[in-house]
Structures are given as structure tokens and as C-alpha cells.
Structure 1
Amino acid sequence: MDNEIRHPGTKSVGWALVQAARLHRSRTGDKLSDLGLFAGQEQVLQALATSGPMTMGDLATMLRVRPPTASKTISRLSTLKLVERHTEPGDARIVRVKLTKEGKRKAEAINALWDEVEAELLADFDNKDRKRLRKLLRKAAKNLAGLTGADQSGFADDDLEEASALEEPLAASA
């Protein structure tokens, strides 16, 4: 008789996904703390590094969070001198956010950190398995987004652009 205690959800795909996500978040959080950041802040820095200056509303939409959540994170990052806020000339209600020079440096460090964690996550996967996993996770996310009314634009099945963005750094580090 096996004395190992097993969670009742061990045969559930959802349970496995939650466990993998928790472990990924924990590993990423450990590495972010080395940069003086908390989980979630890296997403803001990466969004601004990729898209450039944007309004608070656009940032909240891109990150799929409520505007007060984005605003609170921007306030913290502003205190760290990683972002700057500027009101729009002619309409002070519109606030644009952009990275500072230090914020750009942190964003580059975050990209390297994400590549490291991704390489750890997918260490035993070949490129075919990586592509298949990414596609299946997108499909699962799209299924749930459709049921919740969430924006589905981030769940495209097109792997052409992302293949070079995700697999090349992994190949280089493998």
C-alpha cells in the first residue's frame, strides 16, 4: 500500500495548471526581489518598454487590470524612480506614463529574468513540445476568456512572431 498522500485534484488539468502557475510565480517573485521589485510590477515595466508611453487607461487595459490597480502600481514604481507621469498638455485629466532611464534598465533585467525562468520551466521540453504547450495554454485561456467576457486579443493562435521571441532566447541559453 502506498503511504504517499495525494491531493484529490492530481489528475485534473486545472489543478496541474494552478500548481505550475504558482511555482512559476514564486520563482519569478524570488528573482524579482533581487531586483527590488514585487510580482506584478514587472508586467508594467515590460508593457511600457514594449509599447512606449501610454495613458493609465491604456496601461490598465493592456494588463487586464482595473485602473485603480494600475494607478497604485504606477505610484509605487514612481517612488522607485522607474516611471514618470505627465499630464497631457491641454487636458490635465489624461495622464501618460513612461519609463525613466532606470526603468528601462530594470525592464532589460526583467527580460533576462523571464528568459531564465522560462528556460528553467521548459528545461526538458524540445521546441515542438514548447510550441504545443504554448498553443494549448492559449486555447484554454481563450476558452475561459470567452465564458467570462474577457478580451481575447492576447490569445492569438499565430505562432510566427512569438516563435522567434520565445524560442530563440531559450535556444541560446540551453
Structure 2
Amino acid sequence: MVLSVMAMGMMAIRFGGSAAADESRAANVVATPVSLAGRWVGQYYGYGRSSDEKGCGETGCRMTFDVVACKDGWCGIAIKDDKSCGAIGLHLAAADAKTGEHIFTGRLEIAKGAAPYVVQAWHDADKETGAVELHFVGDTGSELLMYRRSYPFEATLARSGDAVCTLDKATS
């Protein structure tokens, strides 16, 4: 009995000290905000795409956005096939700087008049190559349910340079 009480006391001290150390380390971490500004290019995938659609099929559909800072976070201006500035089709809320996570939530409209996707995006930088990617998952509806096996919308976009389009140049 005495041995088990001593063991429990030592475990409490050990784990309590460890938790305090973890909290101390977490308090010292400075979250650096992620800038999404730039041109983002990549493929997106969705249910119901046939291989005869322009740019779609097994390789997905191509999309390009110039992402710029806007009132509530980040706005993505669609780049048309002729490389001109299109409409604002992406809205992402700024990531929570307190948590240090680079997760953004928002809405994505691929085609005018189509149901928009509720999306979650996360920023990922490869430490070895320096390549920067923005990953998306999304669903139509009012909220994104993260406990799914698959999503009607998935995309990975790579940063390919600076944004050319601005909010002033975006068409509506």
C-alpha cells in the first residue's frame, strides 16, 4: 500500500512537472503568420467529373488564383484561360495566430452560379526543397464535416510567383 501511494506521488510529480514544462515551451513559441499572397496553380478533383471535360479526368481540373489580402483574410482572384483577371472566387479567413496552426477556413466558388464549397485549407512548406503548397478539402453545404472518408472537392495548389491581379482588377 505504501509503495503504491509513493509510486502514485512520484508519477504525479513526474507528469505534473512534464505538463508544466510543455506549457512553458508552448508559451515561448511565437506563432508566425503565414502569407498566402501570390499566384497559386494546381489541380482540383471532384465527384462526377468525366474524362472528356476540358482539363479534367484522371488528372483533375486546373485552377489558378491570385491570392491577395482582403478585409477578412485572403481573397483569391480566378485567373481566366486567357490569363486575365476573373472574379473573386475564394475567400479564406485568416489563420488563428494564437495556435500556431496554418489552417484557413472559407468558401470557394469554381463556377458562377454553381453551389460554392465550404473549404478548409492548410499551408505546407517543404523544408528541403522550399516548395510551398496550399491543400484544400471541401464540400457543398453550410459547414465542412471533417469526420468524412472523402470530400467532394480536393485540391493541391503550388505557389508559382507573385500575384498580378488585385482586388481592383477583379471582375464581378
TM-score with structure 1 setting the length:
0.23
Higher relative contact order (CA 8 A, sep 6+): 2
Higher strand share: 2
